């Protein structure tokens, strides 16, 4: 028979195992139910497999909170992702050909400098990393 073990306190699934006698699977704080259930899709609530709530898809990084049964923003990973996005935008303008840059008007050069500074300042925004107001790229910059 196949069984799923889980944390009795949080319902978090620990592992799936095969055993002939489920009484051998009893450990302190560990529950056992018959069947195979993935901890990516389920948690166990009062001995019943329960689907995890839908994970938000708003571009932030989330981890599941087994105590509250909610998805919480992982601020460290979300900040890393936001910096990677910011760095990609910086790389796109920092790799500008010097001859092309010299052909820009003084106003365009100033717009580019302002845009670059705004990108550098993204991590200093009040809502960073969960509420980011990305600077607007100059319309003439392709």
Q: What is the pTM of this model?
A: 0.78
pLDDT tens, position by position, 13-37 = 999 999 887 777 777 889 999 999 9
Q: What range does the domain containing 142 cover? A: 56-142
Q: Tell me: do 68 and 87 sit in the same domain.
A: yes
Number of domains composing the chain: 2
Q: Tell me: do 73 and 92 sit in the same domain.
A: yes
Q: Tell me: do 136 and 76 sit in the same domain.
A: yes
pLDDT tens, position by position, 69-92 = 999 999 999 999 999 999 999 998
Q: Which of 16, 35, 52 is the last residue of a domain?
A: 52
From the number of C-beta atoms within 10 Å of its C-beta (0-12, 13-18, 19+), residue 61 rates as middle
Q: Tell me: do 70 and 130 sit in the same domain.
A: yes
Q: Tell me: do 21 and 75 sit in the same domain.
A: no
3-state helix, strand, coil in the chain (%, to 5): 35, 25, 45
């Amino acid at each position: 028979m196949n069984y799923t073990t889980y944390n009795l306190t949080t319902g978090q699934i620990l592992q799936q195992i095969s055993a002939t006698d489920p009484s051998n699977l009893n450990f302190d704080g560990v529950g056992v139910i018959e069947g195979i259930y993935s901890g990516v899709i389920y948690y166990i609530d009062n001995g019943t497999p329960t689907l995890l709530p839908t994970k938000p898809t708003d571009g932030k990084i989330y981890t599941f909170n087994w105590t509250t049964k909610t998805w919480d923003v992982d601020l460290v990973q979300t900040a890393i992702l936001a910096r990677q996005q910011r760095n990609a935008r910086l790389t796109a303008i920092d790799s500008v050909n010097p001859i092309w840059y010299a052909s820009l008007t003084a106003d365009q050069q100033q717009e580019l400098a302002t845009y670059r500074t705004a990108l550098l300042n993204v991590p200093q925004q009040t809502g960073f990393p969960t509420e980011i107001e990305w600077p607007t790229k100059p319309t003439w910059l392709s």
